[in-house]
A and B are shown apart, each in its own frame.
Chain A
């Protein structure tokens, strides 16, 4: 039983870190869910190592650790797929925003230009010169 203490502590620390990150709003819940499931199962397995052997016997896997590895792979695959999916959504939203920003920038520059012309062409040119701000942040 002594050799199950380190994995138990490890799982406990992992769950604690994930919970803390969610609490601090660094992580959003939807990303944390899978990690919490993984952490909780790790806790259970570290606490009751006999459970793994029992389950593998029921499922028909001879070496208990193989069940563990298989489950790990499935879960990690799930996490990867989830992240790819989220990333694609974010990239698409990002693209839409970039298009929107570009169109707005053109519109704003046009407005600034027209406004500037109007104000400099005012009566006897006495209108104060307008600060139109930097035209391009890169320059």
Chain B
């Protein structure tokens, strides 16, 4: 396996109408000087997201219409695959994922194909309660069993993948709600990708507020169980990349 410094890493940032925050987040990643290329996937924004991101120094993929986080990420993976990147990491454009944690999440790829930056793993003060928490605990328990490793935050979007993971994602990365986190992860595990988690602290969002509506949380619980059940019945993907980095 290549050393983390010599690797060609792409930071993928899906953004939908996040012109207010995307500029600072891109600049933060670039100012790390850790040699990452930044790709902002403009998911059919109607504001100046794409221009702001390009001005901040990112490469911008402009999707012609809104396709959701999953759709945006798949476009990003395709780009990474075409340009032969060794690893990708998804970072939210709203500044919730601290760019300083990127290198530690990438470290996780030393021993796994997918590394998840987990919000609860004893670092930071991210808290949820009620049905949303039950959903997260339940999902984490089921997926941990599948992956045969302890995972506590399977819905985190802060995740990195190597070439093997990119190839798997290109084969199966649903655009549906929760498909980009739960479904893709379950199928990746089934297809033989190893998963690990890295504790990270999350920052408060720079724009927007997370929902604490109990009805919405209950719907979230139902949908996540639904997504999980579907994912468990899916067939595994054939991964063309034969690279092993054990």
**Which chain A residues have a beta carbon within 8 Å of chain B's beta carbons?**
95, 98-103, 105-106
Contact = CB atoms under 8 A, between A and B. Distances in A.
A103 B79 contact: yes
Interface string B39-65: 001000000000000000001111111
A105 B62 contact: yes
Interface residues of B, number: 16
B172 to A, nearest CB: 12
A99 B59 CA distance: 15
Given A99-B74, A101-B64, A103-B82, 14 more contacts: A95-B67, A95-B71, A98-B65, A98-B67, A98-B71, A99-B71, A100-B78, A102-B41, A102-B62, A103-B61, A103-B78, A103-B79, A106-B59, A106-B62
B175 interface: yes
Contacts of B59: 106
A103 B12 CA distance: 13
Interface string B178-200: 00000000000000000000000
Nearest to A107: B82
Nearest to B39: A106
A98 B65 CA distance: 8
A99 B60 contact: no
B109 interface: no
> Which 6 pairs, one residue from A and one from B, show the smallest C-beta to C-beta distance?
A99-B75, A102-B61, A102-B63, A98-B64, A99-B78, A106-B61
Query: Dominant SS at the A interface?
Result: helix
Contacts of B62: 102, 105-106
B11 to A, nearest CB: 15
Contacts of B64: 98, 101-102
Contacts of B41: 102
B63 A106 contact: no
Contacts of B61: 102-103, 105-106
Given A103-B78, A103-B79, A103-B82, A98 B60 contact: no
A106 B78 CA distance: 13
A104 to B, nearest CB: 10
Interface in B50-96: 59-65, 67, 71, 74-75, 78-79, 82
A103 B75 CA distance: 8
B152 to A, nearest CB: 32
A112 B246 CA distance: 42
20 contacts: A95-B67, A95-B71, A95-B175, A98-B64, A98-B65, A98-B67, A99-B75, A101-B64, A102-B61, A102-B63, A102-B75, A103-B61, A103-B75, A103-B78, A103-B79, A105-B61, A105-B62, A106-B60, A106-B62, A106-B79
B80 to A, nearest CB: 10
Interface in B160-218: 175
Contacts of B175: 95
Nearest to A91: B175
Contacts of A100: 78
Contacts of A98: 63-65, 67, 71, 75
Contacts of B82: 103
Contacts of B67: 95, 98
Nearest to B59: A106
B183 to A, nearest CB: 15
A25 to B, nearest CB: 27
A92 B67 CA distance: 11
B17 to A, nearest CB: 14
